[in-house]
Amino acid sequence: MMVLSRRPFKGIDKLLFAVMVLIFLLGILTISSSTQAKQLTFRDSYVLKQLYWVGIGLIFTLFALGISYQKFIDVSYIIYGVNILLLVLVLIIGHVRLGAQRWFAIGSFAFQPSEFMKLSLILALANYVGQKKGVMDSFWNFLKAWAFLALPFVLVLAQPDLGTGLLLLPIFFSIMFVSGASIRYMAGAIAIGLAGMPFFWHMLHYYQRQRLLVFLDPNIDPLGAGYTIIQSKIAVGSGGLMGKGWMAGTQNQLNFLPERHTDFIFSVIGEEWGFFGSIALVLLYFLIVKRAFNIAQMTSDLYGKSIATGIGVMFAAQVVINIGMTIGLMPVVGIPLPLISYGGSSLLTTMIAIGLLANVGMRRSMF
């Protein structure tokens, strides 16, 4: 039974939450700037919707903080199973947007179950490796752990959501690493995946192939698949060292840059806040990732260590992939920038993840 402890927030990581708030505030400013050209009233604005989501997120974050993370581990398989069911249902009755069937629509709001799958996978794997402590170097135990990844991976790719599907891979391998799984088995799994790339290529949708091709040369389709990345690089480059100022970015305000309040929001930051503003944001993310790995290192309990490691890698991978694709160093795969990009599912997942991370940090010596 889940019960709140008498002093649920004793030893809370104030720095972690201060960094979260700073990043979120920058996100609100950037969402406001990137949607200014739409000339929406505040009542209909993306900013207000994002504030609604952060209010909901705070409730879930407090819930994630107030209950021992071991209680979440106890019900992790149920959480994982419910999330798998949602991934199946979204393929049947989900809302289609931009050619992908990833969302459940509730009025003017929509949520994406694949976003929550990242946390569900972390908790389920933490439960599994914690139970198998000391024997994860067994091939069969590694193979069973692989089954936790395979099912959501296939379901997420079927939506299609290539970005989130690929993001599950570093989460899986990082938890396998800290659990003591054989490096030989992990290397073998990676080798098999690389060998299967030609088959994987033929399974991709046409637009996904185009995104990968324009990553190599955006100019092969400058007005189609390569348009966004070309405009994004122009926006980031034009920001210079100090940026053009809030709401003063020309690529942003003149509507040259698509998806600038979601996946390509870093382009707006680069244009308006420049190199120094972008580096400041990266440093804030670095503090969260560093804190996650510090908590993992200080935690003797394998359950907590796996949670902290998975969350740290989830953050790091999302930031690297998102920023990488906006500056042309990685293909466009549709990964939001944590706490910055507009979107309720991403924001909720991120805030709950920070709550769980702080939870492990507060209780790391309890078990």
pLDDT tens figures, 136-157: 778 888 888 999 999 999 999 8
Pairing status of strand 100-106 against strand 109-111: antiparallel
Whole-number Å distance between alpha carbons of 133 and 358:
23
Structure confidence by residue, pLDDT tens digits, 246-266: 888 888 887 788 888 888 899
Structure confidence by residue, pLDDT tens digits, 30-79: 999 988 877 777 887 889 989 999 999 999 999 888 888 889 999 999 99
> Where are the chain's structural domains?
19-362
Query: What's the Cα-to-Cα distance from 212 to each of 114, 203, 335, rounded to whole Å?
Result: 22, 13, 14
Structure confidence by residue, pLDDT tens digits, 172-231: 999 999 988 888 888 888 888 888 777 776 667 666 677 777 766 677 767 666 788 888
Contact between 215 and 226 (Cβ < 8 Å): no
Q: pLDDT band for position 366 (50/70/90)?
A: very low
Nearest to 360 by CA among 290, 293, 277: 293
- pLDDT value for 251: 85
- pLDDT value for 202: 66
- Please state the pTM of the whole predicted model: 0.89
